[in-house]
């Protein structure tokens, strides 16, 4: 789902206008009351009115989104970084490769049909 470029009423400190957000499954009650569960900028999932968002149409993405590569910067506390490094060493791979593998395995990223060729 995407937060439209138009301003939305209310205090939405953890949402960025124009940003894309992952939608999590909602209960039937939440669906019936017109809310969706979004992972917002805080990294937590919260319920927001469905009319705050619009579905993302993959066919209308800007050209710069066509790139097969994206940059991700992670800021880790020393303990988490040490754990990630130990896991990477045990797997005989780099920390970056381990994170890329984790992302591919756990996120439900949909590929565009023309990008899958």
Contacts of residue 68, Cβ cutoff 8 Å, sequence gap at least 6: 115
Same domain, 52 and 77: no
| Residues spanned by the domain of 1 | 1-57
Q: Give the CATH number of the domain where residue 51 resides.
A: 2.30.30
87 domain residue, yes or no: yes
Same domain, 53 and 9: yes
63 domain residue, yes or no: no
Same domain, 3 and 53: yes
50 three-class SS: helix
62 domain residue, yes or no: no
Against a cut of 0.75, is the pTM above it? no
pLDDT at residue 28 in the model: 92
In the chain, the number of structural domains is 2
pLDDT at residue 70 in the model: 62
- Written as tens digits, the pLDDT of the chain (117 aa) is 555 555 455 546 678 877 778 888 889 999 899 999 988 888 788 888 888 888 877 676 666 666 666 666 777 888 888 888 888 888 888 888 888 888 877 776 555 455 444
Domain boundary among 32, 57, 82: 57
Same domain, 88 and 47: no
- Using alpha carbons, select from 69, 11, 20 the residue that is nearest to residue 41: 20
Could you tell me if 49 and 33 are in contact, meaning their C-beta atoms sit under 8 angstroms apart? no
């Amino acid at each position: 789902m995407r937060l439209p470029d138009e301003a939305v009423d209310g205090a939405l400190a953890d949402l960025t206008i124009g940003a894309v957000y992952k939608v999590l499954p909602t209960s039937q009650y939440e669906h019936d009351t017109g809310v969706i569960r979004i992972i917002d900028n805080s990294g937590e999932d919260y319920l927001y009115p469905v009319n705050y968002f619009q579905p993302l149409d993959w066919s209308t993405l800007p050209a710069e989104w066509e790139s097969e590569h994206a940059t991700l910067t992670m800021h880790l506390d020393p303990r988490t970084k040490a754990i990630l490094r130990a896991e990477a060493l045990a797997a005989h791979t780099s920390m970056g490769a381990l994170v890329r593998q984790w992302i591919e395995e756990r996120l439900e990223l949909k590929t565009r049909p023309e990008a899958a060729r």
